[in-house]
Structure 1
């Protein structure tokens, strides 16, 4: 019997439901790292190789047969009454068709019917039922964000929210309920086209007041509640149930009178519920009298349309029963699109909080507001139909502009408060975000509100970036730029937008926005600022070429640099930016020409980069200096100066350690953490590499992109021999990579090769083949063939005793493949090559060891590998065992134990036992050809 803890059983069940680690963490209210630990434990306890095998084992520990996720549906606070035939008809429609829209007027009961059908059908969908309410969505571009929120997804750099939703649902057999689509019909239609094309097992049930008008749509008209079917009436049953809920059970003889009221209300569910709520105070005769009053009915114009008459009649009736002050309060709070507090309502209504609180309570008693308790206090919300009705009343009263202006001011104050908040600000932001967005939509279209709209867009851009909604953040910065009242302010916003685009790995957007910033700066007369923007655009094309879809042509880059130089004048910051662009171009030219470390062009490139660093340092701008240091580190690595490159990378991290969390600083820091991890790997500082890689993996901006966050941590742990850490981290890596759509980025090649090697060292050939297939898909380049791929293959071949094959795998001299082994892999390449030569009995083994010792001097891990090779060559066991301390100090447990096995005798037995305890397959003795 496998001993699985209750928490592990929960994790296993959710793995069987195909949830990601991030989704499991959210469902169980634990950290992603804790989930990863449980996954690693389950892999070991159940003796399975990977997450897919775990999912297949999910039914066994929980003992409940195939696991199906519970429906993610809102809890109904009142019972669902009747509609037996409607439920059956709509259920059959969603079985037969992949997209069904339940259509009907406001208040007919579309949402309740859809929820009842979804709950009833949940067992038919292996991957669950999901619900997204589109009421708060005021911008069609935010529909995917709302759906992602319902699915528990965050934003992933390098792709927009629509892509994230499509990736999450691509292989799911699920039902998605999209509620209240009428105000964003066009946007919903576009999203559904993408979803249904890319997600073949997904069914969508939408509710809307109007058809979505898409070719694949099947429409189900939701009828009013039945007034009389075989002596029974759903409408009467609903009225009696709701009336009893507020304290006045109905007598059966009253059914005919109730039926007459329901007929007057045309069987509209919302109208019936509102009428029933007034029964304790008005009685049936009072309700009947109120409904007959002409002021309760809509007259004239489009508002007499048959679709709205009955619901509007009920709302008019309910509204007419209010005192004038409560009517005014209802219409003024209608500007809120999300739940609000009494204090917020008082600010927007322009009244004292105490009076407003009393009025809100009365509105709630009249069923015109829903009351909920939250950690922040009592909150109120108007049902959407009532809110729209009240908004129309607000316009009729001539108060719309005034109320929306006060709402805008409240939103600005909330945004400003959130910007300086220290605790619980994320939860507070989530509560008001939809109101901020709605206020911005209104203000952006009004010239007199332009300045406030700019300010709110800027605030919202900052807040959404910190909230890791970076796609929205970029859009808000661009919106703020468009709303700015002068070109200088527009340029500032465009620069921030460019930085966010960099964080998203959207290089082409980054380039576009920097050029737009340059245009705005020139319009404002800031030629030096324009020069910085143009030079930055050129430098970024070199620094972040992997983020670009369109590679910047050389002549275009030269033109940008030339323009920047002409505009720079004597401005220090502009001159520094131009110098950096020139250094980047020189480095790109050297790399493109495949010049070796001894070529005369390389020292010139380093000199240019050092000059760029010097000029940037003089400006006092840490980001400018960091960018220059990045180029210098790349030039040093290209020259083969591993330790100088590592020192420069660490210097860059120190420089950025105290910078604020702005988009530009965050973008620079993430890139710097990746660079310093690579540098320490190349220099043999494995503890340092793991420290930086862990910091990168824990960065909140990368929470949803585990493949990008954990990649270098997998490489460091592979070199160190931390088997459990690699197996656990690889689950998150592969899961995140697949959810991202499997991007083919060569930078992801080394971690995939590292994981394949670890599976090989564990003698798990099936898993190694799977990861090798992923590697081939990611990176078929010479870097895999001659660089890191050769290093990891050699490690595995040497473990298996296949020294001649390892030597053949690394047959090219380092000078022949230097461009693929420089930076990270050079020292590992020459050291493992030297050991392979010794173990294979190569006649030139002694020369190779001597050459390797010169190359790797100063690198603690690979120097120890070379010393071990020398000891093996000389058959000097004492010298061989002396390398143990070096490996242990360097944090390289695997190589330490390998040394014991190579030492033979009792040492070999201890080393083999320790390797087995860690999960490694037995080392094979070297086999000569």
Structure 2
């Protein structure tokens, strides 16, 4: 969700702050209370992310010099024409919004609900510190996608592990804001439950909706929007609107026309849309032409059994406008009504189906329709686009059905969508996303129609498959999974269904939805079994067990050990001699043993070698198959087994093999999911091997990956750990903002990497001497980690580092008191080398009698780890009382990518090096004054 807009009143307060006025002086200047000024100042600090009043003053002064705005652009759309009349309704609706959590402006199409709602929203924007937000639901055709549409409108992205419908409640949870939902009538079944969840989760949010009918929710306050007032003759709101719009086309009615205008507005029942369309024709028809044109047309649908009260007046105006068109333009209007999003003349020519196809003639016709306000014109970088208002689009659809052309035109629209999707799948460039967004809703509508036509099942299958791939590329992971499941449902062959279900499972993996991964792999296995494909069935069953073991923290309900065992037994039974099936079963067997269903403990010396042997067999079988994705998954299990065995270097090498194996494979959903996991594991194991620069590079790849754009906590986790261990405070704190925002919006997901990332930020705050911020981030650690015991690993490393920085070696000694064998399961994966090396350093600085024994023990473990070896070397130099070795050790830390430890080592050398150490710490963004300066050992 983007930053809340600065209100008009806040902008005034900000400008006066730039003049360095006090709150009392600002209150006097604006005729408001001092308390109100204080409230506006607090709101500005929050919205503009500034620390204090001086920051606001500097920003205001700079803005005044440059002439730039001081805040984000308003979230409300800016109408291109003036709002006319409705003084009473405007005040009453504003009062209703202030008094009730949810208000629905109800009235017929064309009555002016949207313009009234926008006017009221603009009037009250200053009363909502977190701004007013607008979402137009016109393009939404599926009630299930209301939440996704609102999330896109307000900039609240989907979070891994949560449904997109939860994004908006998460974004508005603590916001005092107004959300305007426009045009709800066609998706009421989706809007009602969405609003119930939203308002329950956001106690300070208010919602103003517009709809042709009430939303029928228990907390709704309906506000009927009447037609424009016609009382008062030529001074009525209806006449004022007509006069304003007629003047806009260059022919304002003269004084003698007022009586005729009053009559026209009366006959149009005060409907705003009808009045605007009539006024647009004033310049070409005049009063007598309008009177003649409206005469018969208004009577055709004014109250008969064919029309309901909501549409009578608008349909009359549209019938009149339609009948003024030439037959070819009438056909064009009804045929382009199938487009939901703005469309080009070329697209219209293809779908309209005129023979011969003449784009220039169609463009000329679209221009005539636009002149008569039947189409809106939208200039764009890719060319002029046209769009019909929703009411006119629905009217055109009725005409299309009445003309018997509905099936043919929709079929051409389906073909156009399919071809456009195929072209976009092969395209690229910086405008790719915009091009997809331009017509994605048309693809969805065409797919919805085709899926309901049994004879078009194959076409629907092709379009669903195309849309699934495009949605994945567009990072719409929720829709991509939905579409792949739809592909499976539309498939004529079980083999195709199974493939689509496997794709859906991989996308669920990208969303960190373990339950869906497991369900979809089981469903793929069932489809393969029905098709007589034993290999595919084995693959699905084995993969289900594998993901349950590998990604256990992403499940809300992990399958029981008995269920996993039964699935694995069935897979073995079906495997036969198929190489890929055999490799899949071997992987599942190895993954179950090494992960959630039986992790090998570090002190189980007799189990670790057998487990590694079993996993290596799975790797080799997958390599021979060949099956790169399964081989990568087997390498993941191998790195886990090697970690349990305490071999950090071999574990890192296995993850590097994964990234190399996957680097040049086509980006299928399964490959993409595997590649993302491989990058994360490679970064983690690089940390464990002391390869901080490599960890930073791979962490950066994750942070910059587009698929993680909306999952900043997972994207930045390992980058935070690597930067934190290196002591790069500025970089760590910069990425911490993204991490924290995304973590909170996700609802507080739990995983070991998230806990370590939060702990690394806490450590940096500790090194900066900011205990309040450190405590705040330690609270995040408590929510981000899966078990408290994990903090015996990274928590001990980070806490002891802070304590040593402050010169409290005794406390640091206590923090790492347990021997590695006591906390093996918490340090064996990433933290073993860091833990044992730090214990050696702490022992020396605290004067522990076993310091030399700890140094010797650490050397046996960390040999080959550049950062940990430098730690042990430093401990030994201090223990020997030989600070002359410290400058060389400091250089080793620099080469190992650890500038903090480099500066810390210089600091321990004392003497003439202190100034250089303090300068190095300052460059890193740390606080030299917080660093302890222990006496020389």
Same fold (TM over 0.5): yes
Are 2:933 and 1:925 aligned?
yes
Q: Is the 8 A contact 1:13 1:67 kept in 2?
A: no
Q: Is the 8 A contact 1:296 1:320 kept in 2?
A: no
Distance 2:772 2:181 in 1: 41
1:384-435 deviations in Å (ceiling 9; x for gaps): 1111111101101111111111100000001001100122221110000110
1:576 equivalent among 583, 603, 607? 583
- The corresponding residue for 2:835 is 829
Moved more, 328-337 or 895-904: 895-904
Across the aligned residues of Structure 1 and Structure 2, the Cα RMSD in angstroms comes to 2.3
Distance 1:825 1:485 in 2: 51
> Does the C-alpha gap of structure 1 residues 114 and 621 become closer, same or farther in structure 2, counting only changes over 3 Å?
same
- Uncovered stretches (5+) of structure 2, i.e. residues with no partner: 9-44, 64-68
User: What count of residue pairs does the alignment treat as equivalent?
Assistant: 888
Distance 1:393 1:874 in 2: 94
Q: Is the 8 A contact 1:784 1:790 kept in 2?
A: no
1:841-897 deviations in Å (ceiling 9; x for gaps): 111111111111111111111101101111111112233332122111111111111
Q: How does 1:109-508 map to 2 (within 5 A)?
A: 109-229=112-232, 232-293=235-296, 297-298=300-301, 302-351=305-354, 352=357, 353-423=359-429, 424-508=431-515
Distance 1:587 1:50 in 2: 48
Are 2:763 and 1:792 aligned?
no
CA shift for structure 1 position 785: 3.7
- Uncovered stretches (5+) of structure 1, i.e. residues with no partner: 1-10, 18-47
CA shift for structure 1 position 312: 1.1
CA shift for structure 1 position 590: 8.2
Q: Is the 8 A contact 1:68 1:126 kept in 2?
A: no
Distance 1:462 1:77 in 2: 37
CA shift for structure 1 position 513: 0.5
Distance 1:889 1:565 in 2: 50
- The corresponding residue for 1:28 is none
Q: Is the 8 A contact 1:897 1:914 kept in 2?
A: yes
Distance 2:392 2:823 in 1: 72
Distance 1:307 1:590 in 2: 61
Q: Is the 8 A contact 1:782 1:820 kept in 2?
A: no
- The corresponding residue for 1:4 is none
Distance 1:275 1:15 in 2: 38
- The corresponding residue for 1:900 is 906
Superposition TM-score, scaled by structure 2 size:
0.92
- The corresponding residue for 1:54 is 51
Distance 2:6 2:805 in 1: 33
Distance 2:280 2:344 in 1: 23
SS at match of 1:808: helix
Distance 2:369 2:786 in 1: 67
1:80 equivalent among 77, 83, 106? 83
Distance 1:15 1:295 in 2: 46
Distance 1:257 1:717 in 2: 76
SS at match of 1:374: coil
1:514 equivalent among 506, 509, 521? 521
SS at match of 1:882: helix
Are 2:567 and 1:560 aligned?
yes
CA shift for structure 1 position 61: 3.0
Q: Is the 8 A contact 1:499 1:510 kept in 2?
A: yes
Q: Is the 8 A contact 1:16 1:55 kept in 2?
A: no
CA shift for structure 1 position 598: 4.9
Distance 2:597 2:132 in 1: 55
CA shift for structure 1 position 780: 7.2
1:578-626 deviations in Å (ceiling 9; x for gaps): 000011122238854x632552111111011000000100122211110
Which has the higher relative contact order, 1 or 2, with Cα contacts under 8 A spaced 6 or more apart? 1
- The corresponding residue for 1:848 is 854
Q: Is the 8 A contact 1:561 1:581 kept in 2?
A: yes
Q: Is the 8 A contact 1:898 1:911 kept in 2?
A: yes
Distance 2:55 2:143 in 1: 39
1:204-257 deviations in Å (ceiling 9; x for gaps): 111111100001001111111111238621111111111121121111121111
- The corresponding residue for 1:527 is 534
Distance 2:151 2:873 in 1: 54
CA shift for structure 1 position 128: 1.1
Q: Is the 8 A contact 1:803 1:927 kept in 2?
A: no
Q: Is the 8 A contact 1:756 1:768 kept in 2?
A: yes
Q: Is the 8 A contact 1:590 1:601 kept in 2?
A: no
1:411-463 deviations in Å (ceiling 9; x for gaps): 00010011001222211100001101111111111101111111111111111
1:649 equivalent among 647, 652, 655? 655
1:692-719 deviations in Å (ceiling 9; x for gaps): 1111111111112211111111111111
Are 2:867 and 1:867 aligned?
no
1:516-542 deviations in Å (ceiling 9; x for gaps): 111111111111101100000001111
Distance 2:48 2:320 in 1: 59
CA shift for structure 1 position 721: 1.4
Distance 2:3 2:190 in 1: 37
Superposition TM-score, scaled by structure 1 size:
0.92
